Structure 1
Protein backbone atom coordinates (compact mmCIF):
# COMPACT_ATOMS: atom_id res chain seq x y z
CA UNK A 1 0.00 0.00 0.00
CA UNK A 2 1.16 3.50 -0.83
CA UNK A 3 0.17 6.97 0.32
CA UNK A 4 -3.00 8.12 -1.44
CA UNK A 5 -3.76 11.53 0.06
CA UNK A 6 -3.25 13.74 3.07
CA UNK A 7 -6.29 15.41 4.62
CA UNK A 8 -6.10 19.06 5.59
CA UNK A 9 -9.04 20.14 7.76
CA UNK A 10 -10.27 23.70 7.19
CA UNK A 11 -13.18 25.62 8.71
CA UNK A 12 -14.37 27.27 5.51
CA UNK A 13 -13.69 25.29 2.34
CA UNK A 14 -14.32 28.16 -0.07
CA UNK A 15 -11.98 30.47 1.82
CA UNK A 16 -9.33 27.75 1.92
CA UNK A 17 -9.62 27.10 -1.80
CA UNK A 18 -9.16 30.82 -2.45
CA UNK A 19 -6.11 30.95 -0.17
CA UNK A 20 -4.43 27.89 -1.69
CA UNK A 21 -5.00 29.26 -5.15
CA UNK A 22 -3.35 32.48 -3.97
CA UNK A 23 -0.43 30.32 -2.79
CA UNK A 24 0.01 29.12 -6.37
CA UNK A 25 -1.84 25.79 -6.33
CA UNK A 26 -4.39 24.57 -8.82
CA UNK A 27 -7.32 23.50 -6.63
CA UNK A 28 -10.37 21.58 -7.87
CA UNK A 29 -13.62 21.13 -5.97
CA UNK A 30 -14.42 17.43 -5.55
CA UNK A 31 -18.14 18.00 -6.13
CA UNK A 32 -20.46 20.88 -7.05
CA UNK A 33 -18.86 24.01 -5.60
CA UNK A 34 -21.88 25.38 -3.75
CA UNK A 35 -22.24 22.32 -1.48
CA UNK A 36 -18.74 20.84 -1.62
CA UNK A 37 -16.97 19.69 1.55
CA UNK A 38 -13.83 18.46 -0.23
CA UNK A 39 -11.36 19.96 -2.70
CA UNK A 40 -8.22 18.47 -4.21
CA UNK A 41 -4.72 19.60 -5.06
CA UNK A 42 -3.71 17.11 -7.73
CA UNK A 43 -0.34 16.14 -9.08
CA UNK A 44 0.32 14.15 -12.23
CA UNK A 45 1.22 11.13 -10.10
CA UNK A 46 1.49 10.05 -6.49
CA UNK A 47 -0.22 11.35 -3.36
CA UNK A 48 -2.41 14.43 -3.35
CA UNK A 49 -3.70 16.96 -0.81
CA UNK A 50 -7.37 16.93 0.09
CA UNK A 51 -8.92 19.96 1.77
CA UNK A 52 -11.99 19.05 3.77
CA UNK A 53 -14.48 20.64 6.10
CA UNK A 54 -16.75 18.74 8.48
CA UNK A 55 -20.54 18.98 8.82
CA UNK A 56 -21.94 21.04 11.72
CA UNK A 57 -22.02 19.15 15.04
CA UNK A 58 -20.17 16.18 13.51
CA UNK A 59 -18.33 15.70 16.81
CA UNK A 60 -21.69 14.77 18.40
CA UNK A 61 -22.60 12.13 15.81
CA UNK A 62 -20.18 9.34 16.70
CA UNK A 63 -22.74 6.53 16.87
CA UNK A 64 -24.73 7.48 13.75
CA UNK A 65 -21.44 7.78 11.83
CA UNK A 66 -20.38 4.34 13.08
CA UNK A 67 -23.66 2.91 11.81
CA UNK A 68 -23.25 4.60 8.43
CA UNK A 69 -19.55 4.00 7.81
CA UNK A 70 -18.51 1.16 10.10
CA UNK A 71 -17.13 0.91 13.62
CA UNK A 72 -14.25 3.26 14.24
CA UNK A 73 -15.40 5.86 11.72
CA UNK A 74 -17.32 7.89 14.31
CA UNK A 75 -14.30 8.35 16.54
CA UNK A 76 -12.16 9.39 13.59
CA UNK A 77 -14.63 11.84 12.11
CA UNK A 78 -15.40 13.32 15.54
CA UNK A 79 -11.64 13.92 15.94
CA UNK A 80 -11.58 15.69 12.57
CA UNK A 81 -14.49 17.87 13.67
CA UNK A 82 -12.91 18.81 17.03
CA UNK A 83 -9.46 19.44 15.58
CA UNK A 84 -8.21 22.91 14.72
CA UNK A 85 -7.33 23.64 11.15
CA UNK A 86 -4.36 21.67 9.88
CA UNK A 87 -3.20 18.25 8.72
CA UNK A 88 -5.56 15.74 10.31
CA UNK A 89 -5.27 12.35 8.59
CA UNK A 90 -3.69 10.32 5.82
CA UNK A 91 -4.95 7.56 3.54
CA UNK A 92 -3.15 4.72 1.81
CA UNK A 93 -4.33 3.20 -1.45
CA UNK A 94 -4.46 -0.55 -2.00
CA UNK A 95 -3.59 -2.50 -5.13
CA UNK A 96 -6.99 -4.22 -5.05
CA UNK A 97 -10.26 -2.68 -6.25
CA UNK A 98 -12.07 -4.27 -3.31
CA UNK A 99 -11.08 -3.83 0.33
CA UNK A 100 -12.23 -7.26 1.50
CA UNK A 101 -8.79 -8.87 1.13
CA UNK A 102 -6.59 -6.10 2.61
CA UNK A 103 -9.07 -5.63 5.47
CA UNK A 104 -8.93 -9.34 6.20
CA UNK A 105 -5.13 -9.24 6.22
CA UNK A 106 -5.18 -6.42 8.76
CA UNK A 107 -7.65 -8.22 11.00
CA UNK A 108 -5.52 -11.36 10.85
CA UNK A 109 -2.60 -9.22 12.06
CA UNK A 110 -4.69 -7.97 14.98
CA UNK A 111 -5.67 -4.58 13.50
CA UNK A 112 -9.42 -4.11 13.88
CA UNK A 113 -11.14 -2.28 11.02
CA UNK A 114 -14.64 -1.12 10.24
CA UNK A 115 -16.57 -2.42 7.26
CA UNK A 116 -15.62 -1.47 3.72
CA UNK A 117 -17.85 1.33 2.45
CA UNK A 118 -18.62 1.67 -1.26
CA UNK A 119 -18.84 5.33 -2.21
CA UNK A 120 -19.76 7.33 -5.30
CA UNK A 121 -18.90 11.01 -5.66
CA UNK A 122 -20.36 13.23 -8.36
CA UNK A 123 -17.80 15.69 -9.70
CA UNK A 124 -18.59 19.28 -10.70
CA UNK A 125 -18.77 18.18 -14.37
CA UNK A 126 -21.37 15.53 -13.51
CA UNK A 127 -19.04 12.55 -13.94
CA UNK A 128 -19.03 9.99 -11.15
CA UNK A 129 -16.04 8.65 -9.24
CA UNK A 130 -16.34 5.33 -7.41
CA UNK A 131 -14.11 4.00 -4.64
CA UNK A 132 -14.17 2.15 -1.33
CA UNK A 133 -12.77 3.12 2.06
CA UNK A 134 -12.37 1.53 5.46
CA UNK A 135 -11.12 2.92 8.75
CA UNK A 136 -8.98 1.11 11.32
CA UNK A 137 -10.71 1.43 14.70
CA UNK A 138 -7.56 3.08 16.02
CA UNK A 139 -8.32 6.52 14.61
CA UNK A 140 -4.67 7.55 14.58
CA UNK A 141 -3.65 4.95 12.02
CA UNK A 142 -3.83 5.67 8.26
CA UNK A 143 -7.06 4.55 6.64
CA UNK A 144 -7.47 2.53 3.45
CA UNK A 145 -8.97 3.47 0.09
CA UNK A 146 -9.18 1.68 -3.25
CA UNK A 147 -7.99 3.27 -6.50
CA UNK A 148 -10.46 5.78 -7.93
CA UNK A 149 -12.64 4.38 -10.72
CA UNK A 150 -12.11 5.88 -13.22
CA UNK A 151 -8.59 7.15 -12.41
CA UNK A 152 -8.56 10.83 -11.47
CA UNK A 153 -4.93 11.97 -11.76
CA UNK A 154 -4.65 14.56 -14.55
CA UNK A 155 -2.19 13.84 -17.32
CA UNK A 156 -0.63 17.23 -16.66
CA UNK A 157 -1.00 19.85 -13.95
CA UNK A 158 0.98 23.06 -13.72
CA UNK A 159 0.95 24.68 -10.29
CA UNK A 160 2.20 28.30 -10.59
CA UNK A 161 4.32 27.82 -7.44
CA UNK A 162 6.28 25.04 -9.15
CA UNK A 163 5.05 22.12 -7.02
CA UNK A 164 5.20 18.85 -8.96
CA UNK A 165 4.55 16.23 -6.31
CA UNK A 166 3.89 15.36 -2.70
CA UNK A 167 7.16 13.66 -1.87
CA UNK A 168 7.11 13.40 1.93
CA UNK A 169 4.64 12.81 4.76
CA UNK A 170 6.38 13.43 8.08
CA UNK A 171 4.72 11.72 11.02
CA UNK A 172 5.07 11.25 14.73
CA UNK A 173 4.21 7.65 15.63
CA UNK A 174 3.76 6.32 19.14
CA UNK A 175 5.54 3.08 20.11
CA UNK A 176 2.17 1.40 20.68
CA UNK A 177 1.03 2.28 17.14
CA UNK A 178 4.31 1.55 15.36
CA UNK A 179 3.75 -2.15 14.46
CA UNK A 180 0.32 -1.42 12.97
CA UNK A 181 1.55 1.74 11.26
CA UNK A 182 4.43 -0.14 9.65
CA UNK A 183 2.08 -2.84 8.41
CA UNK A 184 -0.28 -0.31 6.85
CA UNK A 185 2.29 2.15 5.50
CA UNK A 186 4.68 -0.62 4.49
CA UNK A 187 7.94 0.49 2.97
CA UNK A 188 6.48 3.47 1.10
CA UNK A 189 9.37 5.97 1.10
CA UNK A 190 6.90 8.88 1.15
CA UNK A 191 6.44 8.28 4.88
CA UNK A 192 9.04 9.35 7.43
CA UNK A 193 8.12 8.27 10.96
CA UNK A 194 9.60 9.63 14.19
CA UNK A 195 8.90 8.10 17.60
CA UNK A 196 6.70 10.34 19.75
CA UNK A 197 3.93 10.16 22.34
CA UNK A 198 1.06 10.73 19.87
CA UNK A 199 0.61 9.51 16.32
CA UNK A 200 -0.03 12.48 14.03
CA UNK A 201 1.08 14.17 10.82
CA UNK A 202 3.58 16.96 11.43
CA UNK A 203 4.36 18.19 7.91
CA UNK A 204 4.27 17.39 4.23
CA UNK A 205 7.00 18.05 1.69
CA UNK A 206 6.43 19.10 -1.90
CA UNK A 207 8.89 18.64 -4.72
CA UNK A 208 9.40 21.53 -7.09
CA UNK A 209 8.31 24.41 -4.88
CA UNK A 210 10.15 27.53 -5.93
CA UNK A 211 9.94 29.18 -2.51
CA UNK A 212 8.42 29.08 0.95
CA UNK A 213 4.66 29.40 1.31
CA UNK A 214 2.97 32.13 3.33
CA UNK A 215 1.95 30.40 6.59
CA UNK A 216 -0.94 32.83 7.06
CA UNK A 217 -2.68 31.18 4.09
CA UNK A 218 -1.94 27.54 4.98
CA UNK A 219 -4.82 27.04 7.45
CA UNK A 220 -2.63 25.50 10.11
CA UNK A 221 -0.71 23.11 7.87
CA UNK A 222 3.05 22.87 7.49
CA UNK A 223 3.90 22.53 3.79
CA UNK A 224 7.52 22.96 2.86
CA UNK A 225 9.89 22.37 -0.05
CA UNK A 226 11.06 18.78 -0.30
CA UNK A 227 14.33 17.61 1.14
CA UNK A 228 14.30 14.81 -1.43
CA UNK A 229 12.70 14.35 -4.83
CA UNK A 230 9.99 11.85 -5.67
Structure 2
Protein backbone atom coordinates (compact mmCIF):
# COMPACT_ATOMS: atom_id res chain seq x y z
CA UNK A 1 0.00 0.00 0.00
CA UNK A 2 1.32 3.46 -0.87
CA UNK A 3 2.06 5.66 2.11
CA UNK A 4 3.05 9.28 2.51
CA UNK A 5 6.57 10.00 1.26
CA UNK A 6 6.89 12.53 4.08
CA UNK A 7 5.29 11.80 7.47
CA UNK A 8 2.18 13.74 8.45
CA UNK A 9 0.34 14.06 11.72
CA UNK A 10 -3.00 15.66 12.37
CA UNK A 11 -2.80 19.38 13.12
CA UNK A 12 -6.46 20.18 13.73
CA UNK A 13 -10.00 19.06 13.06
CA UNK A 14 -12.24 21.77 11.61
CA UNK A 15 -15.81 22.15 12.85
CA UNK A 16 -18.10 24.48 10.90
CA UNK A 17 -20.72 26.36 12.90
CA UNK A 18 -23.39 28.79 11.82
CA UNK A 19 -22.87 31.28 14.66
CA UNK A 20 -19.34 31.27 16.08
CA UNK A 21 -20.13 33.24 19.25
CA UNK A 22 -23.04 30.96 20.11
CA UNK A 23 -20.90 27.89 19.46
CA UNK A 24 -18.11 29.22 21.69
CA UNK A 25 -20.66 29.81 24.46
CA UNK A 26 -22.09 26.30 24.07
CA UNK A 27 -18.69 24.59 24.11
CA UNK A 28 -17.70 26.59 27.17
CA UNK A 29 -20.94 25.54 28.88
CA UNK A 30 -19.98 21.93 28.09
CA UNK A 31 -16.73 22.38 30.01
CA UNK A 32 -14.23 23.26 27.28
CA UNK A 33 -11.83 26.18 27.40
CA UNK A 34 -12.26 27.97 24.07
CA UNK A 35 -10.16 30.88 22.82
CA UNK A 36 -10.90 33.14 19.88
CA UNK A 37 -8.24 33.02 17.16
CA UNK A 38 -8.52 36.78 16.54
CA UNK A 39 -10.24 39.76 18.17
CA UNK A 40 -13.57 38.44 19.43
CA UNK A 41 -15.88 40.99 17.82
CA UNK A 42 -15.05 39.99 14.24
CA UNK A 43 -13.62 36.52 14.78
CA UNK A 44 -14.43 33.70 12.38
CA UNK A 45 -12.25 31.08 14.10
CA UNK A 46 -11.88 29.80 17.66
CA UNK A 47 -9.73 27.04 19.12
CA UNK A 48 -10.05 24.26 21.66
CA UNK A 49 -6.41 23.78 22.62
CA UNK A 50 -4.75 20.87 24.34
CA UNK A 51 -1.25 20.87 25.78
CA UNK A 52 -0.07 18.64 22.95
CA UNK A 53 -1.36 16.97 19.85
CA UNK A 54 -4.14 18.02 17.47
CA UNK A 55 -6.78 20.56 18.39
CA UNK A 56 -10.35 21.40 17.38
CA UNK A 57 -10.94 24.57 15.41
CA UNK A 58 -14.40 26.09 15.31
CA UNK A 59 -14.99 28.23 12.23
CA UNK A 60 -17.74 29.97 10.35
CA UNK A 61 -17.95 31.59 6.92
CA UNK A 62 -19.61 34.79 5.68
CA UNK A 63 -23.26 34.61 4.65
CA UNK A 64 -22.32 35.56 1.10
CA UNK A 65 -19.38 33.16 0.91
CA UNK A 66 -20.22 32.27 -2.69
CA UNK A 67 -18.94 35.71 -3.68
CA UNK A 68 -15.47 34.64 -2.55
CA UNK A 69 -15.34 31.38 -4.51
CA UNK A 70 -13.39 32.66 -7.49
CA UNK A 71 -11.01 34.91 -5.50
CA UNK A 72 -10.18 31.94 -3.26
CA UNK A 73 -9.57 29.74 -6.30
CA UNK A 74 -7.19 32.42 -7.61
CA UNK A 75 -5.40 32.55 -4.26
CA UNK A 76 -5.15 28.87 -3.36
CA UNK A 77 -5.84 27.01 -6.60
CA UNK A 78 -8.76 25.29 -8.28
CA UNK A 79 -11.05 23.53 -5.80
CA UNK A 80 -10.29 25.84 -2.86
CA UNK A 81 -13.45 27.87 -3.33
CA UNK A 82 -15.55 24.73 -3.69
CA UNK A 83 -14.06 23.45 -0.44
CA UNK A 84 -15.09 26.59 1.45
CA UNK A 85 -18.64 26.47 0.06
CA UNK A 86 -18.94 22.79 1.01
CA UNK A 87 -18.18 23.61 4.65
CA UNK A 88 -21.36 25.66 4.92
CA UNK A 89 -23.47 23.63 2.50
CA UNK A 90 -23.21 20.43 4.54
CA UNK A 91 -24.38 22.20 7.70
CA UNK A 92 -22.91 22.27 11.17
CA UNK A 93 -20.40 19.60 12.10
CA UNK A 94 -16.89 18.46 11.29
CA UNK A 95 -16.03 19.79 7.86
CA UNK A 96 -12.32 19.22 7.23
CA UNK A 97 -9.02 17.86 8.51
CA UNK A 98 -5.67 19.66 8.54
CA UNK A 99 -2.47 17.62 8.42
CA UNK A 100 0.76 19.04 9.78
CA UNK A 101 3.70 19.20 7.36
CA UNK A 102 6.94 20.13 9.11
CA UNK A 103 8.66 21.30 5.92
CA UNK A 104 8.01 25.08 6.06
CA UNK A 105 8.33 25.41 2.28
CA UNK A 106 5.74 22.70 1.51
CA UNK A 107 7.16 22.49 -2.02
CA UNK A 108 8.90 19.07 -1.74
CA UNK A 109 5.77 17.53 -0.28
CA UNK A 110 3.50 19.09 -2.91
CA UNK A 111 5.83 17.94 -5.68
CA UNK A 112 5.93 14.37 -4.38
CA UNK A 113 2.15 14.23 -4.08
CA UNK A 114 1.67 15.59 -7.59
CA UNK A 115 4.10 12.97 -8.94
CA UNK A 116 1.92 10.30 -7.35
CA UNK A 117 -1.25 11.70 -8.91
CA UNK A 118 -2.58 13.84 -6.06
CA UNK A 119 -3.24 17.24 -7.61
CA UNK A 120 -2.51 20.11 -5.27
CA UNK A 121 -3.26 23.82 -5.28
CA UNK A 122 -0.91 26.68 -4.46
CA UNK A 123 0.81 27.12 -1.10
CA UNK A 124 -0.60 30.17 0.68
CA UNK A 125 1.31 32.28 3.21
CA UNK A 126 -0.97 33.35 6.05
CA UNK A 127 -0.49 35.71 8.96
CA UNK A 128 -2.96 36.01 11.81
CA UNK A 129 -3.28 38.73 14.42
CA UNK A 130 -4.27 36.88 17.59
CA UNK A 131 -6.78 38.09 20.16
CA UNK A 132 -3.97 39.39 22.39
CA UNK A 133 -2.43 41.40 19.55
CA UNK A 134 0.47 39.01 18.87
CA UNK A 135 1.03 37.52 15.45
CA UNK A 136 1.46 34.00 14.15
CA UNK A 137 2.37 32.77 10.67
CA UNK A 138 1.81 29.53 8.79
CA UNK A 139 1.38 28.17 5.27
CA UNK A 140 -1.26 25.84 3.88
CA UNK A 141 -2.07 24.06 0.64
CA UNK A 142 -5.30 22.36 -0.43
CA UNK A 143 -5.63 19.27 -2.62
CA UNK A 144 -7.80 20.07 -5.61
CA UNK A 145 -10.17 17.32 -4.51
CA UNK A 146 -12.12 19.30 -1.91
CA UNK A 147 -12.86 16.37 0.43
CA UNK A 148 -9.26 15.28 0.95
CA UNK A 149 -7.43 16.62 4.04
CA UNK A 150 -5.16 19.60 3.46
CA UNK A 151 -1.62 20.39 4.58
CA UNK A 152 -0.56 23.13 6.99
CA UNK A 153 2.80 24.06 8.47
CA UNK A 154 3.26 24.57 12.22
CA UNK A 155 2.35 27.97 13.64
CA UNK A 156 5.31 30.31 14.08
CA UNK A 157 5.66 31.05 16.89
CA UNK A 158 4.05 27.95 18.36
CA UNK A 159 0.60 28.47 19.87
CA UNK A 160 0.11 25.39 22.05
CA UNK A 161 -0.23 26.40 25.72
CA UNK A 162 2.28 24.86 28.11
CA UNK A 163 -0.65 23.58 30.15
CA UNK A 164 -4.35 23.49 29.38
CA UNK A 165 -7.01 22.46 31.87
CA UNK A 166 -10.56 21.90 30.66
CA UNK A 167 -13.20 21.85 33.41
CA UNK A 168 -14.80 18.74 31.88
CA UNK A 169 -11.54 16.78 32.17
CA UNK A 170 -10.67 16.67 28.46
CA UNK A 171 -6.92 16.35 27.89
CA UNK A 172 -6.50 15.60 24.17
CA UNK A 173 -7.75 13.79 21.10
CA UNK A 174 -7.44 10.02 21.45
CA UNK A 175 -8.77 9.18 17.97
CA UNK A 176 -10.16 10.82 14.86
CA UNK A 177 -12.76 8.70 13.07
CA UNK A 178 -12.34 9.39 9.37
CA UNK A 179 -14.72 8.02 6.76
CA UNK A 180 -13.12 7.47 3.36
CA UNK A 181 -14.74 6.87 0.00
CA UNK A 182 -12.95 3.92 -1.67
CA UNK A 183 -11.94 6.09 -4.62
CA UNK A 184 -10.07 8.41 -2.22
CA UNK A 185 -8.16 5.72 -0.32
CA UNK A 186 -4.89 5.84 -2.26
CA UNK A 187 -4.67 9.63 -2.19
CA UNK A 188 -5.53 9.65 1.51
CA UNK A 189 -2.76 7.15 2.27
CA UNK A 190 -0.26 9.38 0.50
CA UNK A 191 -1.42 12.40 2.47
CA UNK A 192 -1.76 10.91 5.93
CA UNK A 193 0.84 8.17 6.20
CA UNK A 194 0.44 6.13 9.37
CA UNK A 195 -0.84 8.63 11.92
CA UNK A 196 -2.09 6.34 14.72
CA UNK A 197 -4.80 8.82 15.71
CA UNK A 198 -6.64 8.33 12.43
CA UNK A 199 -9.22 5.54 12.58
CA UNK A 200 -10.19 5.02 8.94
CA UNK A 201 -13.33 3.26 7.74
CA UNK A 202 -15.19 3.05 4.40
CA UNK A 203 -17.84 5.71 3.86
CA UNK A 204 -20.03 7.25 1.18
CA UNK A 205 -18.14 10.54 1.49
CA UNK A 206 -14.64 11.26 2.76
CA UNK A 207 -14.67 13.29 5.96
CA UNK A 208 -14.34 13.34 9.74
CA UNK A 209 -17.21 11.48 11.40
CA UNK A 210 -16.32 11.87 15.09
CA UNK A 211 -13.46 12.51 17.49
CA UNK A 212 -12.66 10.65 20.68
CA UNK A 213 -11.38 12.81 23.52
CA UNK A 214 -9.26 11.52 26.38
CA UNK A 215 -10.70 12.49 29.75
CA UNK A 216 -14.21 13.14 28.42
CA UNK A 217 -16.36 10.76 30.42
CA UNK A 218 -19.64 11.22 28.52
CA UNK A 219 -20.23 11.50 24.77
CA UNK A 220 -21.54 14.83 23.47
CA UNK A 221 -23.04 16.09 20.25
CA UNK A 222 -22.49 19.81 19.85
CA UNK A 223 -23.26 21.79 16.70
CA UNK A 224 -23.49 18.59 14.69
CA UNK A 225 -20.14 17.22 15.94
CA UNK A 226 -19.90 13.85 17.70
CA UNK A 227 -17.45 13.99 20.61
CA UNK A 228 -16.86 10.53 22.01
CA UNK A 229 -15.72 9.90 25.56
CA UNK A 230 -12.47 8.21 26.50
CA UNK A 231 -11.79 8.09 30.24
CA UNK A 232 -8.23 8.95 31.26
CA UNK A 233 -6.21 5.85 32.09
CA UNK A 234 -4.65 5.67 35.52
CA UNK A 235 -1.28 7.39 35.47
CA UNK A 236 -2.03 9.24 32.23
CA UNK A 237 -0.61 12.76 32.54
CA UNK A 238 -1.42 13.88 28.99
CA UNK A 239 -2.39 17.31 30.23
User: Partners in 1 of 2:149 and 2:173 — Cα distance?
Assistant: 17
Match in the other structure for 1:105: 112
Residue 15 of structure 1: which of 17, 22, 32 is its match?
22
Where in structure 1 are there 5+ consecutive unaligned residues?
A: none
Aligned: 1:150 with 2:168: no
Aligned: 1:79 with 2:120: no
Look up the SS of the partner of 1:177 in the other structure.
helix
Match in the other structure for 2:189: 182
Aligned: 1:206 with 2:213: yes
Listed one character per residue, the Cα deviations across residues 129-183 of structure 1 (whole Å, up to 9, x for unaligned) are: 1000000001111000001000110000000000000121101101110001011
Shift of residue 227, structure 1, vs aligned partner = 8.0
Q: What is the TM-score when the length of structure 1 is the normalising length?
A: 0.95
User: Partners in 1 of 2:217 and 2:132 — Cα distance?
Assistant: 32
User: Partners in 1 of 2:65 and 2:105 — Cα distance?
Assistant: 28
User: Partners in 2 of 1:69 and 1:130 — Cα distance?
Assistant: 16
Match in the other structure for 1:67: 74
Aligned: 1:33 with 2:40: yes
Aligned alpha-carbon RMSD (Å)? 1.5
User: Partners in 1 of 2:180 and 2:230 — Cα distance?
Assistant: 21
User: Partners in 2 of 1:63 and 1:168 — Cα distance?
Assistant: 35
Instruction: Report the more deviating stretch, 156-165 or 58-67.
Output: 58-67
Instruction: Report the more deviating stretch, 200-209 or 55-64.
Output: 55-64
Match in the other structure for 1:123: 130
Match in the other structure for 1:164: 171
CA contact (8 A) 1:113 1:134 kept: yes
Aligned: 1:222 with 2:226: yes
User: Partners in 1 of 2:78 and 2:140 — Cα distance?
Assistant: 13
User: Partners in 2 of 1:144 and 1:222 — Cα distance?
Assistant: 23
Shift of residue 71, structure 1, vs aligned partner = 2.0
Match in the other structure for 1:90: 97
Give the direction of change, closer, same or farther, for the CA distance of 1:140–1:6 in structure 2 (3 Å limit).
same
Q: What is the TM-score when the length of structure 2 is the normalising length?
A: 0.91
| Number of aligned positions between the proteins | 227
